[in-house]
Amino acid sequence: MSDAILPKPHIPPGLREAAERGTLVPFIGAGASRLAGCPGWNEFADGMLLQLVEQGKLTHAELAQIKVLPPRVKLSLVRTLADEHRVFIDYKKLFHPSGKPDHAKGQKLYTLLSKLAKTFVTTNYDEWLDTDWATPELADHEVNGLTPPTIPKPRKIFIMFISLSQLA
């Protein structure tokens, strides 16, 4: 068996059939967000800390001391300080600096994912899955007396932890 990564990997027939039937439910992990330009945990935590500095709730000296801590500890500190001082942390700005998911690789990736399935399971906080990047596919069965192709297939996202919109 070769360790080479094929440019277009072989897709097992069962996987292809599930995608065509619309029964495939992909798990979208952090790798997709990273490819789409979103920060890793350390960058995310550091960005939150910088927002506290910008709002005068943390000094640069305190930031330097905290920056060496693991991301989970930094995130806990930021949440505690933000709650204590009642300051707004702009999570969306950390994930999407322009205010919307507009990273070129992210758009390409999520367009392809949108064509693959309409239901996803994710642990990601960003908003990439909130938009259906592909042209809506139409239902292939009758619904409430309406016949195809007049009914778009519903889109479902299952977030395992919390979403960006819940953090605000």
DSSP for 81-125 reads HHHHHT----HHHHH-TTSS---HHHHHHHHHHHHH-SEEEE---
Rounded to the nearest 5°, which phi and psi values hold at 146?
-90, 140
pTM score, two decimals? 0.68
By the 10 Å C-beta count (0-12 exposed, 13-18 middle, 19+ buried), 98 is classed as: exposed
Residue 62 in 3-state DSSP? Answer: helix
pLDDT digits (tens, 9 = 90+) for 51-107: 999 999 999 999 999 999 999 999 999 999 999 999 999 988 898 888 788 888 988
State the pLDDT at residue 22.
74
Residue with more model confidence, 154 or 100: 100
Give the E-state strand segments of 18-71 in sequence order: 27-28
Distance between CA atoms of 134 and 111, rounded to whole angstroms? Answer: 5
Distance between CA atoms of 86 and 73, rounded to whole angstroms? Answer: 19
Domain boundaries, the chain: 24-37+101-167, 41-95
Q: What is the CA radius of gyration of the chain?
A: 20
* Residues linked to residue 152 through DSSP beta bridges, in sequence order: 138
User: And the tokens for 11?
Assistant: 């897709």
Residue 69 in 3-state DSSP? Answer: coil
Distance between CA atoms of 67 and 89, rounded to whole angstroms? Answer: 17
State the pLDDT at residue 89.
94
By the 10 Å C-beta count (0-12 exposed, 13-18 middle, 19+ buried), 147 is classed as: exposed
Residue 154 has pLDDT above 90, yes or no: no
User: And the tokens for 42?
Assistant: 């350390």
Residue 39 has pLDDT above 70, yes or no: yes
pLDDT digits (tens, 9 = 90+) for 122-136: 887 778 887 776 655
